[in-house]
Chains A and B, each alone.
Chain A
Amino acid sequence: MIRTASAILRKDLRIELRTKETVPAMTLFTVTVYVLFHFGLDRDSLDGELASGVLWVTLLLAAVIGVTRLFATEREQGGIDSLLLAPVDRTALFVAKAAALFLYLLLLEVVAVPVFGLLLLGPDLFDALPELALILLLADVGLAAVGALVSALAAETRARELIVPLLLLPLVVPLLIGAASATEPLLREGGQSEDLGRYLALLGGYDLVFVLIALGVFDYLLDD
């Protein structure tokens, strides 16, 4: 199964590298929104609660773009038939797509978080970095799993571009709560973490539950 998943992942990454359709869109969107906030909030710099909220909500909205496009190549080009015909474990498709989304999110954050630090953050981003990286990683796992599931669910519907955000955003609210609450004290002057363990546990729990659920139900989405 892992071999199949890696074959699918490599194929997807190769296509993404050629078409450059997903990651640039997500990144451009995020940077643009941060710029908008920079001007729209009429504040020189943010910290704490507000900073954390702006950072995370924008990342989630960018994730919607990634999720909507996740099965696009399958829909528009090869179709998943080639996978369904092959003697492989179909869960590999979920693993591959979730892994792809995870990588796209990481790439997005590598660019977007420093931009956020420059444009909007009052306190120095550098102090918060190690803990922030951990929070981002955990959140990305959950986002990737839920995103892949939602993407597959919405893949066959007609109003896909509407349904994806409506489905994804409520589902990731616990993720948002955990991530934003954990990030908030980090983005204050002095940047000490508070209750970090508690929120990491929430993120970890969320990740575990939804990865397991997604692995359990994904097959039924492909079965005809």
Chain B
Amino acid sequence: MSEPPALELEGLERRYGERIALSGVTLRLEPGQTLAVIGANGAGKSTLLRVLAGLLRPHSGSARVLGAQLPGETWRVRARIGYLGHDPLLYRELSGRENLVYQSRLYGLPIERVDEALAEVGLERRSGEPVRDLSKGMVQRLAAARATLHAPDLLLLDEPRANLDPAAAERLEPLIGRASGRARVLVTHDVDAALAETDVVLGLRGGRQAFALPVAELNRQRTRELYT
């Protein structure tokens, strides 16, 4: 039996009261592929990510994530989804290590995973310091460690390279980049960089799907239209 698609969305819709936050999102993403989500501010990119993460319910349409139907079956696949949003989701008063230990307890992971993850992002030395003492770049790296601690099959990334210098960004590549082999949904404003590492591109405009195309079929004119 072959693996189900990483994402199968059909007419996905999410409202905020009477306002449309997302509408008409229809696309398919195979395991290991990357989906780039582009659009102007407020176009619904972060909302889409939160819906896929199981943090928001779809109001209509259908969404299958890793084969599970949202929202009824979200619980089946929660352990396989990693979310790296704007908020690093770290407790500032606790150390990096303590944060990851907490995370490991939530996911039922062995304690050794924490040291592995700290090594993966190069933060072993400073793992004992409270997060509020770390630089933004370090916090981002720690957040990436948090998001991938449980070796998810699907990564949901909201501007993952914000605050990172090129060296740090490169360090995270095997974890959250193409090289990780994981299916990824990447929200970003850096359209050129996104297109370089993507298989499918979703363009959102005012919450509505403007297009969802394989990267090869995309022309730059269409992406520019999203931002007018």
Direct contact of A and B (CB under 8 A): yes
A positions within 8 Å CB-CB of B? 3-4, 7, 10-11, 14-15, 18-19, 73, 77-79, 81-88, 223-224
In the complex, the chain B residue whose C-beta lies closest to that of A81 is B89
Main secondary structure on chain A at its contact with chain B?
helix
Q: Which residue from B55, B78, B79, B91 sits with its C-beta under 8 Å from A81?
A: B55
Q: Which residues of B contact A3 (CB under 8 A)?
A: 105
- Asked if B85 CB lies within 8 Å of chain A CBs, one says yes
Knowing A87-B79, A87-B107 are in contact, say whether A82-B94 is a contact too (CB < 8 A): no
Kindly state the interface size class of chain B when it binds its partner.
20 to 34
Q: List 15 A-B contacts (CB under 8 A).
A: A7-B102, A11-B98, A15-B93, A15-B94, A73-B93, A78-B90, A79-B89, A81-B55, A81-B83, A85-B53, A85-B55, A86-B103, A223-B57, A224-B55, A224-B57
Q: Which of B65-96 contact A (CB under 8 A)?
A: 75, 78-79, 81, 83, 85, 87, 89-94
- For the complex formed, measure the closest distance between the CB of B100 and the CB atoms of chain A, giving whole angstroms: 11
In the complex, the chain A residue whose C-beta lies closest to that of B82 is A85
B positions within 8 Å CB-CB of A? 53-57, 75, 78-79, 81, 83, 85, 87, 89-94, 98, 102-103, 105-108, 130, 146
Q: Which residues of A contact B105 (CB under 8 A)?
A: 3-4, 7
* Contact yes or no, B106 A81, CB < 8 A: no
In the complex, the chain A residue whose C-beta lies closest to that of B87 is A79
Q: Which residues of A contact B102 (CB under 8 A)?
A: 7, 10-11
* Contact yes or no, B57 A11, CB < 8 A: no
Q: Which residues of B contact A19 (CB under 8 A)?
A: 93
In the complex, the chain A residue whose C-beta lies closest to that of B104 is A7
Q: Which residues of B contact A18 (CB under 8 A)?
A: 93-94, 130
Q: Which residues of B contact A88 (CB under 8 A)?
A: 106
* Contact yes or no, B98 A14, CB < 8 A: yes
Q: How far is A79 from B108 in the complex, measured between Cα atoms in Å?
A: 20
Q: How far is A182 from B103 in the complex, measured between Cα atoms in Å?
A: 44
